[in-house]
Structure 1
Amino acid sequence: MAYENHETIKRMWQKFIREQLAEIPPEERQKYEHQFEKRFEDLLKQSAGDGEDGFLDLIGFGEKGTPPFEDLSYPYITPDFDESVIPSQLHAAAELYYIYQHERMKIFQVIDVLRRLFRLGRIRIQRGPGARGLYLIEKWRPLRYALRDRMLAYRRVFNYGKAQSPPGTIINKNFHNQLVAFMTAMAQYFRDLLIGEVIRGSQLIDQRPFGSVATIQRIGIDLRYAIDRSSYGNVLALTHETGHYLKSVLELLDSPDIKKAFDANTKWDVAEIISNRYLGGATELSQRAKMAESGRRILLWVSDNDFHTAIDPILFQSEARPFGSHAEAWVAAYRMTTEGKRFRGVSPTLRRMIGLTA
């Protein structure tokens, strides 16, 4: 469609919107506003040129020579940056975060100690399910990605650890700041919503929350993009293999003969006892377990959310509500860890993250 006709459609549409919204009762306008906005985007796309010959016409290489501007097609450019990610990589990064927290809990070291004790005859098991599991692990060595491979993956995707990255590797240097910012933005959003509900007395008076959806969307998009560009290579394969191994290891620690050998009630008791005896002490098992659970769930949600700018705030509120509790749980666990002791609280941290004076 010609540029002049395109401009006419935009002017007429704005007039049409004003007239239609004026006739709709105020309590029903919000229901139609987003439908009108979506329809307007569709009209802009349809009225624009296909882009194949527009540039040739502009410079005079088309069939009709150099046409006047009013006869040129309008160059509508579709914004697609926020959607240009690979979901499988983002899902793998979420699982890798879960694996990393178990690495910090020394689960992989615990199973190595069990293998050594079993080989040396220093653990009183012989033919139970735990003994058979340790035999199979010792025989086949199923985890081909060693500690160095895993540490390189953590460094690339999360900038965690001190592994020396190979030249040319993209390091996601700002991951932790973005993750903390996203968790605090989610927590602040639902805290503001709760305050708004208390002040109004009911959700039904005015459901629009006081919290800012835009802050969550902006940090979420940046977080997703940074993870996507740093998770190429073997991260997907490493996560699949290590994830299956970790699942098998946790089931092995829950074997009755292994728990009996250490006078333990649960697999976590086994991990704690072995860590205290042979690995210099257990490290934040409770906090890391909750950070692994809630962090993975939040990252999976970020991976699959398009963070559409024009989303209905009530729809966003309903969609995000289950993850508000995960964000609060992650923050509560994080501030009890060694690195989280510098956490200044939700509001000061969020203000600093978005460039305001804390």
Structure 2
Amino acid sequence: MNFQTTETIQRLWETFLQEQLASLPPDQRDAFASQFEQRYSELLSKPNGSGEEGFFDLLGLGPQGAVGFEKIGYPYVQPDFDDSIIPSQLHAAAELYFIYQHERMKIFEVVETLLRLFRLGKMRIQRGPGARGLYLLEKWRPLRYTRQDRMVAYRRAFNYGTAQAPAGAVVNRNFHRQMVGFMVAMGQYFRDLLIGEVIRGGQLIDQRPFGSVGTIQRIGLDLRYALDRSTYGNIFALAMETGHYLIQVLKLLDSPDIKKAFDANTKWDVVEIVSNRYLGGVAEPSQRAKMAESGRRILQFVADNDFKTATDPILFQSVVRPMGAHAEAWVAAYRMTPEGRGFPGVTHALNSVLGVPQAAA
């Protein structure tokens, strides 16, 4: 469309919208308003030819020569920044976060300790499935990525740990602040929703959420963008290989002969006993397990959600409702870890990630 046509649509659209919505029943206005907004965006985004014609018309080099502004194509620039991400990288980051929490639980160190004890004859197993599993691990060494490789990956993707990041690599320095901010924003959204359900007083109020959608969308987009720009390179391959290795070693720790050797009932008992006996103490496995589960699910949600600005709040509420429980569970577990015991609370954390000065807050 040319500039004059587009200007006419923009000038008359609001009048048209008010007239159409006024003729609809109140309970149908929200649904049609979203459709009208989508249609309006489609009309404005229709290009005039290939897009290059408008530029040449502006210079007077087009087939019509020099023309007035009213005949030049409207310069609508399609917003695509929020869509310019690589989904596989974000899914790999979600798996890497799950792996990181198990690294903090000392799973990989426990397995290395069992290999050493098996090799030195300090563990009374010989022919069972656990012994065979340890033999195969020692023979083939299926995890080619060393602990140092993993630590560098955690540093690049999450800025966790003390490993030196490679020179020139992008480090996601704001990940933890954004992760905590997204979790508390999600939790606050559903707390506000609960308050809204208590104080509802009318038919229309009963049909919309009480919390803020924009805060979740803004932090989610920032979190997604930062993860996308820092998880290139070997992050995908490392997460895939280490994830498969983690599955196998967890099965190995659940072998009956290994559990019997440590008088354990479950694989987590084995992790706790070996950690206390050989690794200087257990590393809060209960909290880390919940953070791994809920953190991965939230990051998968962030990777797959486009966070469109004009989303229907009722639809958004339905989509994110399962994430509210994960966010609350993550925050509750995080506050029980050493790094989370200084958690300043939901309001302070949310103001921090949104850049609100404490004095103004």
Q: Against the structure 1 CA distance between its residues 203 and 157, is the aligned structure 2 distance closer, same or farther, given a 3 Å change threshold?
A: farther
What does 1:278-317 correspond to in 2, within 5 Å?
A: 278-317=278-317
Matched, 1:152 2:169: no
Which secondary structure does the structure 1 equivalent of 2:321 belong to? helix
* One-letter amino acid matched to 2:309: T
Instruction: Please tell me whether the aligned partners of residues 60 and 66 of structure 1 are also in contact (alpha carbons under 8 angstroms).
Output: yes
Q: How many residues align?
A: 358
37-46 vs 148-157, which deviates more?
A: 37-46
The residue type paired with residue 75 of structure 1 is P
Cα drift, residue 46 of structure 1:
2.4
Counterpart amino acid of residue 343 in structure 1:
F
Moved more, 205-214 or 83-92: 205-214
- Which SS does the other structure have where 2:341 is aligned? helix
Paired with 1:89 and 1:202, the residues of 2 have a C-alpha distance of 45
CA distance in 1, matches of 2:205, 2:2: 47
- The change in CA–CA distance for 1:101 and 1:201 in structure 2 (over 3 A counts) is farther
Shift of residue 258, structure 1, vs aligned partner: 0.3
1:195 maps to what in 2? 195
Q: Which residue of 2 aligns with 1:134?
A: 134
Answer yes or no: is the 8 Å Cα contact 1:49–1:75 preserved in 2: no
The 2-side partners of 1:203 and 1:323 are apart by: 26
| Alignment-mate amino acid for residue 99 of structure 1 | I
Contact (CA 8 Å) 2:96, 2:239: kept in 1 or not? Answer: yes
The structure-2 alpha-carbon separation of the partners of 1:202 and 1:108, relative to structure 1 and needing over 3 Å to count, comes to farther
Name the structure 2 match of 1:258.
258
* SS of 2:74 mapped into structure 1: coil
* Change beyond 3 A, Cα 1:153–1:4: same
- The list of structure 1 runs, each at least 4 consecutive aligned residues, that deviate by more than 3 angstroms after superposition, is 47-50, 201-205
Q: Distance in 1 between matches of 2:128 and 2:79?
A: 60
TM-score relative to the length of structure 1: 0.97
Counterpart CA distance in 2 for 1:250 and 1:101 is 14
**Letter of the 1:221 counterpart:** L
Aligned partners of 2:307 and 2:177: how far apart in 1? 20
Deviations 1:184-229 (A, max 9, x none): 0000000000011012279985231221100000000000000000
Q: Could you tell me which amino acid in structure 2 is paired with residue 257 of structure 1?
A: D
Greater shift after overlay, 16-25 or 213-222? 16-25
Q: Verify the 8 A CA contact 1:294 1:329 in the aligned structure 2.
A: yes
- Counterpart of 1:27, as a letter, is D
Is 2:351 the partner of 1:351? yes
Residue 61 of structure 1 and its aligned partner are, at CA, apart by 1.9
The answer as to 2:16 corresponding to 1:16 is yes
Q: Which deviates more, 339-348 or 120-129?
A: 339-348
TM-score by length of 2: 0.97
> After the TM superposition, which residues 237-252 of structure 1 pair with which residues of structure 2 at under 5 Å, given as runs?
237-252=237-252
Q: How far 1:348 sits from its partner (Å)?
A: 2.4
Question: Which residue of structure 2 lines up, in the alignment, with residue 100 of structure 1?
Answer: 100
- The question of whether the paired residues in 2 share the 8 Å contact of 1:197 and 1:203 is answered with no
Q: How far is the alpha carbon of 1:79 from its aligned partner?
A: 0.5
Contact 1:49 1:74 (C-alpha < 8 Å) held by counterparts: no
User: Could you report, residue by residue, the CA deviation over 1:19-72 in whole angstroms, capped at 9, with x for unpaired residues?
Assistant: 111111222211210000011111112264531211111112222222111110
Give SS of 2:206's match. Answer: coil
Gaps of 5+ in 2: none
Tell me how far apart the structure 1 counterparts of residues 183 and 98 of structure 2 sit (CA, whole Å): 16
Q: Which residue of 2 aligns with 1:185?
A: 185
Does the CA-based 8 Å contact 2:54-2:73 persist in structure 1? yes
* AA matched with 2:127: R
SS at match of 1:168: coil
Question: Which residue is equivalent to 2:118?
Answer: 118
* 2:66 is equivalent to residue 66 of structure 1: yes
Q: Deviations over 1:208-252 (max 9, x none)?
A: 122110000000000000000000000000000000001000000
Counterpart amino acid of 2:240?
H
Q: Which residue of 2 is the match for residue 336 of structure 1?
A: 336
AA in 2 matched with 1:194: L
1:31 corresponds in structure 2 to 31
Determine the structure 2 residue equivalent to 1:85.
85
Question: Aligned with 2:46: secondary structure?
Answer: helix
Alpha-carbon deviations, 1:121-155, whole Å to 9, x = none?
A: 11010010000000000000110000010000000
Can you list the C-alpha shifts for 1:81-131, whole angstroms capped at 9, x where unaligned?
001000000000000000000000000000000000000111010010000
Aligned counterparts of 1:347 and 1:325: Cα–Cα separation in 2: 18
Contact residue 6 and residue 47 of structure 1 kept, 8 A: no
| Structure-2 separation of matches of 1:241 and 1:202 | 54
Partners of 1:30 and 1:143 in 2: how far apart? 53
CA distance in 2, matches of 1:200, 1:34: 24
Change (3 A) 1:108 1:323: same
Distance 1:201 1:74, change over 3 A: closer
Partner of 1:210: 210
Query: Identity of counterpart residues, as a percentage?
Result: 69
